[in-house]
């Protein structure tokens, strides 16, 4: 959309100089980045996969969506190129999640894009430590270490993700009113699917031998709380951090006391720590995917199929009765 700034490749430099001299300063000779924006559709830049997926599902044929985080890229420490910043400025809307990606937060706050949608503002966030969802067996002398800031991993809870979908739908309606009816229909369909997924998790995890699971990166706190489980994370909210020797000892003790069978790692980050701990404590390893990106290694092609795979992995690890 954004009709003020059309591609002008092919116009001689002199014409641009003349146009600039005439005060038509909004013309830009740089059109390479226009692939990400400046289409005849409603151009949405999404920060990373779960938001890209929402924008595509809700926008349908009316939107052109690009993601700042490429498939396979770990989103937490994303850096943004000058081209991406330029494309952001030319898009109609940006959909991001404050506090997940500092570089994106900066680029959005400096950008003049008309519609800025912060997914975090569309649902509720909580502070989460290394342990979420009620205390596991007494193992912990260090208490629940406070982690920096609010837990951004709201999309892994289908209920919160549905709240974000509702908010995104409303924002699209407002920003692109001629397609409002379709955005409303698509949002309702998506929310219905998320409600069904929520029910599947609820029934699927209602009767298990243990309620405790160990993950490398503390991404599953909201999911754990939603379904009455306890997440014990080896690392913090940032997947690349290293656990202390004491934390590792505590986890091994707890694993024994709570009948934990499996240490989960994820697809986009090294599984070294998980494998070491699992070997020391005689546990299995498996993948629990935080869906921060979809790659060939993902156990599904989109949010829903990967969540189904996560449910299956949890059922196996927790021992469904």
**Residues at the site binding Zn ion, with contacts judged by CB under 5 A:** 219
Residues in the chain: 321
The residue nearest Zn ion at its CB is 219
Closest CA to 68 of 38, 41, 91, 42: 91
Residue closer to Zn ion by CB (options 63, 224) is 224
d(CA 62, CA 25): 29
Residue closer to Zn ion by CB (options 34, 80) is 80
Residue 110, CB-side half-sphere exposure with 13 Å CA sphere: 12
DSSP classification of residue 36 = G
User: Shortest gap between Cβ of 214 and Zn ion (angstroms)?
Assistant: 16
Residue closer to Zn ion by CB (options 87, 219) is 219
Token pair listed for 181: 């009816």
Cβ proximity of 83 and 31 under 8 Å = no
Residue closer to Zn ion by CB (options 219, 318) is 219
d(CA 64, CA 39): 7
Residue closer to Zn ion by CB (options 136, 219) is 219
d(CA 277, CA 279): 5
Q: Please, is 184 exposed, middle or buried when counting C-beta atoms within 10 Å of its C-beta (0-12, 13-18, 19+)?
A: middle
Q: Where would I find the beta strands (DSSP E) of 173-298?
A: 212-215, 230-233, 262-265, 284-287
User: Shortest gap between Cβ of 246 and Zn ion (angstroms)?
Assistant: 23
Residue 73, CB-side half-sphere exposure with 13 Å CA sphere: 15
Residue closer to Zn ion by CB (options 194, 218) is 218
User: Shortest gap between Cβ of 216 and Zn ion (angstroms)?
Assistant: 10
User: Shortest gap between Cβ of 171 and Zn ion (angstroms)?
Assistant: 24
User: Shortest gap between Cβ of 47 and Zn ion (angstroms)?
Assistant: 12
Between helices 49-59 and 158-175, what is the axis angle to 10°? 50
d(CA 148, CA 317): 29
Residue closer to Zn ion by CB (options 219, 274) is 219
Cβ proximity of 270 and 217 under 8 Å = no
Residue closer to Zn ion by CB (options 93, 214) is 214
User: Shortest gap between Cβ of 266 and Zn ion (angstroms)?
Assistant: 8
User: Shortest gap between Cβ of 317 and Zn ion (angstroms)?
Assistant: 20
What are the counts of helices (DSSP H) followed by strands (DSSP E) for the chain?
10, 9
User: Shortest gap between Cβ of 100 and Zn ion (angstroms)?
Assistant: 7
């Amino acid at each position: 959309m954004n009709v003020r700034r059309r591609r002008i490749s092919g116009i001689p430099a002199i014409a641009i100089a003349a146009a600039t001299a005439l005060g038509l300063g909004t013309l830009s000779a740089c059109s390479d980045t226009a692939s990400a924006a400046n289409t005849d559709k409603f151009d949405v830049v999404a920060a990373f996969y779960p938001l890209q997926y929402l924008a595509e599902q809700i926008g349908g044929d009316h939107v052109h969506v690009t993601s700042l985080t490429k498939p396979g890229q770990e989103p937490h420490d994303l850096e943004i190129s000058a081209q991406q910043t330029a494309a952001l400025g030319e898009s109609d809307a940006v959909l991001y999640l404050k506090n997940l990606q500092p570089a994106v937060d900066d680029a959005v706050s400096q950008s003049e894009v008309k519609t800025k949608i912060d997914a975090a503002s569309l649902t509720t966030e909580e502070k989460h430590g290394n342990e979420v969802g009620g205390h596991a067996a007494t193992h912990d002398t260090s208490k629940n270490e406070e982690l920096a800031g609010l837990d951004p991993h709201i999309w892994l809870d289908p209920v919160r993700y549905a709240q974000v979908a509702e908010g995104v739908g409303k924002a699209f309606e407002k920003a692109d009113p001629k397609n409002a009816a379709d955005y409303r229909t698509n949002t309702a369909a998506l929310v219905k699917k998320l409600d069904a997924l929520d029910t599947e998790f609820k029934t699927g995890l209602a009767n298990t031998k243990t309620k405790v699971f160990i993950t490398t990166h503390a991404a599953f706190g909201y999911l754990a709380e939603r379904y009455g489980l306890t997440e014990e994370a080896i690392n913090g909210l940032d997947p690349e951090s290293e656990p202390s020797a004491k934390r590792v000892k505590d986890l091994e003790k707890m694993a024994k006391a709570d009948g934990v069978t499996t240490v989960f790692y994820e697809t986009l980050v090294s599984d070294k720590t998980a494998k070491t701990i699992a070997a020391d404590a005689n546990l299995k390893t498996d993948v629990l995917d935080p869906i921060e990106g979809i790659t060939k290694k993902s156990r599904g092609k989109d949010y829903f199929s990967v969540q189904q795979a996560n449910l299956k992995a949890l059922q196996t690890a927790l021992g469904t009765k």
